[in-house]
Chain A
Amino acid sequence: MIYESSWQAIAIFFLFVGFTLGFSFWLGRKAKSSEGYFAAHGQIPWFVNGIAFAGDYLSAASFLGLCGMIAFYGYDGFLYSIGYLAGWIVALFVVAEPMKRLGKFTFADALDAQFNSRGIKLAAGISTLVVSVFYLIPQMVGAGALVTPLLGFEQWVGVVMVGTVVILIVVTAGMVSTTWVQFLKGALLVVFSAILTWMILQRGLEVADGGADGHKFRQLTIKHADFIDNDGSVGGQSDTQVLTAEDGWEKAKESFVRLRNTATAEVTVWLSRRSSEQPDADWILSEAQTLTLTSDGKKLVNGLPKGTKKGEPELHPVGYLTELPGGVRKTGPLSPIDFFRTLQQSQVVLWRNEKLTHTDGSTTTVFYPRITPGGQVLRPGEHPTFRGIRSEKFTDKINFLSLMLALFCGTASLPHILIRYYTVKDAGSARKSTIVGIASIGFFYVLTLYLGLGAMTSGELDVSDENMSAPLLAKGMNTWLFAAISAIAFTTVLGTVSGLILAAAGAVTHDLLSSVLRWKMSDTEKVRVARISSVFVGAIAIVLGILFQKMNPTFLVGWAFSVAASANLPSLVMILFWPRVTRQGIVAAIVVGMVSSMTWVLLSGESYSRVYGLDAADAIVPFSQPGILTIPLGFLTLIVVSLLTTPQPKISPTEATSH
């Protein structure tokens, strides 16, 4: 699609980002000590911290990735919402209070509270770094996706912009400003999503033949005999020739038909299916769209060079219903329950795509419509990640169980969430802020289903980019709303990324340099070193964000959760509930959990096809989500190694046994 930026969008956007930066610098003036830089002096009010949890957590992945997945596949994206929120239950009931009691600045502090071991600091510090970087990738991808339609830049420009701004925030400020910025963003994101949901319900559902640009997608019904004779006319259209499927087209999994107009030489691509099983049944052709990337790097849309202005060739927006219950064309305002009820009895057009490679190295992605009953949209199992639940193969089911387990266990193991427990004054405040966090995050996740389904039926979807669904939905409603939503989402990315970089910088400075390498640093030096490490981590994030830009952020977050849960959760839980834990056990569990889950992810079919460009079927591991094996493996390693080693005297036995 062609994205034209509007002055309103740019004005609001810069106003927002400018305000955030200014606010952040102003608060950052106070953060001179390491206590202030890493933990905001433990002085953040619990309510503010709770909303800041929402700000940290409801990142690009939640907002863009979830809405995109729901808009293209229906209910499946909501499975992530459910899993993400469930993880908070672990955080609240199991981890929150002990984390606060045991630690000071970092997750490694809490693990090491009873041992004072350099090994634990090293392992936990590295795991914090790895998880933060894994989690940073989707945030950067999301940021790039946001900037494109808003300011009309290429995606990589967005990634570099976010990276630079975030490095500025983290370097100049610290946990105080990061927290307040997150508070602001979390609150605004929830409020504006609620407004958008209200507008979706007011708009109701409507039947259409195409998207918002007014293009009506054609459908031809052709007699069998007329179709196969290839006499220069097809379905009553003279000058039309059916092209032979060759040069990559013969390998298509879907059945595509290319028609060539002999007068204009224009080639159109159609998805064909038979109207029944009969040998002489009619052929039904549905108009598809194509995006070709030629070997010399040009983009062709439906065979013509991609335009840069309105009216020139571009992919048509989609997202429409072909049928509403009772044969009505338009429903008018719907209640939150009627919205689902009506959709469930409607027919929705979902667009799928298939990529074909030609002999000269060029590729064509065919986007084709698939009329889907609403009941199918509101059930799990449409998205490739979740299709496995309908499969007979056991490994496919395992993949699903594994993902849901990783989401459940992952939240409580994310370093940037864990460090937020050190910004409040005591365990009670940690608990209360988690409750506030759960309430606001839960409310937002309820909205994601409406936002995603609203986008699905908005007529604004970009077939080539599902991450853009939520901003485009807002754009279809109102330019100002679009500007506000995009600016909020963008600044939320800023906040989440700053939190992550801060967590990573804390791990480097506090755990690795100060504790492991025994660097003697004064307080001001610590802050300086942390700022330098922030720049490095930020730079790494920018590079990875550009490399992974085509992947759905939600999917990438799923991986980050797997690694976090496998590496961190076993030691975090066992240290609270099992007095026999030894320091060797903890180190081994972190290392084994981290290495095994990362290796698994890198060897999975998803990595093969989406990252390395290889055939997913060649992947070494049988399913792509490692959690179901690597989380228990972490626990097992911890128990076995602890039993094989001699426990050392604990430093503060009262702490150790109080739980």
Chain B
Amino acid sequence: MASGSSRSGLILFAVYLLLYGGFVAINAFAPNSMELTLISGLNVAIVYGFALIVGAVVLSALYGLLCGDLSRSSEDQEPQA
């Protein structure tokens, strides 16, 4: 299980790295595009920033599922816990 879960871990890691890298790159090299309105009056900075946070939670939960923590850990994802 160790190698299976670590492989899926590395794939998910790569996905997140791309997301995060994209965010950092836009900030560094095209900062003005962070101001553009994206959806429902919210700008890129807000939408992308929130997506990175929600994305981290979703990917980690997904990883938990892939590693077989399905039944118990998924119900504990409620953040207020």
Contact = CB atoms under 8 A, between A and B. Distances in A.
A93 B42 contact: no
Contact of B42 (A340, A436, A446): A340
Nearest to A186: B81
A379 B35 contact: yes
A434 B54 CA distance: 15
Interface in A64-109: 75, 78-79, 81-82, 85-86, 88-90, 92-94, 97
Contacts, number: 153
A431 B76 CA distance: 13
A376 B9 CA distance: 37
Contacts of A88: 56, 60
B78 to A, nearest CB: 7
B53 A90 contact: no
A658 to B, nearest CB: 6
Nearest to B30: A389
A187 interface: yes
Interface of A: 47, 50-51, 75, 78-79, 81-82, 85-86, 88-90, 92-94, 97, 187, 190-191, 194, 337, 340-341, 344, 375-376, 378-381, 389-390, 397, 400-401, 404, 408, 427-428, 431-432, 434-436, 438-440, 442-446, 449, 658-659
B80 A191 contact: yes
Contacts of B56: 85-86, 88-89, 438, 442
Contact of A380 (B27, B54, B73): B27
A297 to B, nearest CB: 43
Per DSSP, are chain A's interface residues mostly helix, strand or loop, or mixed?
helix
B49 A442 contact: no
Nearest to A446: B53
A376 B3 CA distance: 47
Given A89-B60, A90-B13, A389 B28 contact: yes
Given A435-B61, A439-B60, A337 B53 contact: no
B18 to A, nearest CB: 12
Contacts of A340: 41-42, 46
A78 B49 contact: yes
B16 A436 contact: no
Given A438-B57, A439-B78, A446-B50, A389 B13 contact: no
Interface string B1-18: 011011001101100100
Contacts of B34: 379-380
A82 B13 contact: no
B43 A378 contact: yes
Contacts of B28: 389, 397, 400-401
16 contacts: A75-B49, A81-B53, A85-B52, A85-B53, A85-B56, A86-B20, A89-B60, A93-B13, A94-B10, A337-B40, A344-B41, A378-B43, A380-B31, A400-B28, A404-B24, A449-B49
